[in-house]
Structure 1
Amino acid sequence: MLCACDSAPSSDPTPTNASPTFAAEVPTGFDPCHDIPAAVFESENLRPDRNPVSNLDAPGGIKWRGCGWGYKNGNGYGTDIRNTNLTVEMIRAKNFTGAEEFVASGRQVIVAHHDASSDYMCNANIALNGGSLDIFVHNPPETSPATGHIPSCTIARTLVEKIMPSVPADA
């Protein structure tokens, strides 16, 4: 399976209100390409290599920096895990339908589909200093027989819970 490593979220992630103020660069206190233990990926049956790099620059100075992982044997979901200079508050301001918020290890998290027609794609954003850690899950049922029956936001939430213990308190 090919993960959507170079694709932007399906909807403009900037808030609908006045021009946003955000950091010029992504947070650097946690490196999603190197700081997530291999055991997290092994438990999810994801390829343990941390390639390809998944960097994206969007209009207005929005940035994502991280890596993508694919399901072993190519028959399940793919994920990009990237730092972004978008904050949880900016994501919340988009009022995505069905967005859920919760706290994990003391950090605010928002999980949402970016549009109703793409329920096989979900983003979870975990608050970091100067932005957030974005976990994008791509799990189309027709190309993901091993995981396509699992809602993409359920997978994203599971990844949040597994990744949070490795995120430093000061990140």
Structure 2
Amino acid sequence: MAGVQGKRWRGAIAVVGAVLAISACGPDSPSEQPANTAPTFAAEVPTGFDPCTQVPAEVFESENLRPDRNPESNLDAPNGVKWRGCGWGNKRGRGYGTKIRTTNLTLEMIRARNFTDAEEFVVSGRQVIVSRQQDADAPGPDRVCTANVEMQDGSLDIFISNPEYVPDTGHIPACTIARTLAEKIAPSIPAGA
């Protein structure tokens, strides 16, 4: 699992690097900013929905998930990009793992990166982008996928790691799993969050 964990972090860092590349462009002072600047993000992650406690238990039951051994999955990246949430693993160790976190990365920022296999749809009135946010030349890039569900000042980030060797889910595309989880979780996010 150490290799999978390393790949997860490299994928997260790749997203952060992409976002930082967007935010680093342009003039130095706010008064010099052109009208069409790169999107900015909020100082903190969205509030109003705690992915560690407010995802309905039946979602985890239906997906055979349990909290990871170290369930808290918070990350502060350079320039203020943040994730707050928890990790979940397969109850029997035979399926995919996920990190479900709020982030101050907006869908606009995700969309601007033109990630591989990006697909947009709506669930319960919220925009969702499912995409492979890892370099195409990374080992097993098709084994990870992220769904970003629209929230106020950011998004709910549902990261999937689905190694091909896990017998229960290894044959399912990671982005299919990400979409399924987004469809199950989005309706539980309160209006206004």
Contact residue 79 and residue 135 of structure 1 kept, 8 A: yes
Q: Does 1:34 align with 2:53?
A: yes
2:156 is matched with which residue? 133
Deviation at 1:10, TM superposition (A): 5.5
Deviation at 1:9, TM superposition (A): 1.9
Contact residue 16 and residue 93 of structure 1 kept, 8 A: no
TM-score, normalisation: structure 1 = 0.91
User: What does 1:16-165 correspond to in 2, within 5 Å?
Assistant: 16-17=21-22, 18=25, 20-47=39-66, 52-114=71-133, 115-117=135-137, 118-142=141-165, 144-165=166-187
Q: Secondary structure at the match of 2:12?
A: coil
Task: Decide whether aligned partners of structure 1 residues 131 and 95 sit closer, same or farther in structure 2, where only a CA change above 3 A counts.
Answer: same
Q: What is the alpha-carbon distance in structure 1 between the residues aligned to residue 13 and residue 74 of structure 2?
A: 16
Q: What is the alpha-carbon distance in structure 2 between the residues aligned to residue 29 and residue 50 of structure 1?
A: 26
Structure 1 residue ranges (4+ consecutive) displaced by more than 4 angstroms after TM superposition: 48-51
Q: Name the amino acid aligned to 1:65.
A: R
Task: Decide whether aligned partners of structure 1 residues 132 and 13 sit closer, same or farther in structure 2, where only a CA change above 3 A counts.
Answer: farther
Question: Which 10-residue stretch deviates more, 81-90 or 43-52?
Answer: 43-52
Unaligned runs of 5+ in 1: none
Deviation at 1:20, TM superposition (A): 4.2
1:9 is matched with which residue? 12
Q: Alignment length, in residue pairs?
A: 170
Q: What is the alpha-carbon distance in structure 1 between the residues aligned to residue 69 and residue 148 of structure 2?
A: 20
Q: What is the alpha-carbon distance in structure 2 between the residues aligned to residue 160 and residue 38 of structure 1?
A: 15
C-alpha RMSD of the superposition = 2.1
Q: What is the alpha-carbon distance in structure 2 between the residues aligned to residue 13 and residue 104 of structure 1?
A: 26
Q: What is the alpha-carbon distance in structure 1 between the residues aligned to residue 13 and residue 109 of structure 2?
A: 16
If asked which structure has higher relative contact order (CA below 8 Å, sep 6+), I would say 1
Question: Which 10-residue stretch deviates more, 56-65 or 108-117?
Answer: 108-117
1:117-138 Cα offsets, whole Å, 9 max, x none, are 4100000000100100000000
Contact residue 146 and residue 159 of structure 2 kept, 8 A: yes
Contact residue 77 and residue 148 of structure 1 kept, 8 A: yes
Q: Name the amino acid aligned to 1:58.
A: A
- Of structures 1 and 2, the larger Rg is shown by 2
Q: What is the alpha-carbon distance in structure 1 between the residues aligned to residue 70 and residue 187 of structure 2?
A: 22
Q: What is the alpha-carbon distance in structure 1 between the residues aligned to residue 119 and residue 21 of structure 2?
A: 19
Unaligned runs of 5+ in 2: 26-37
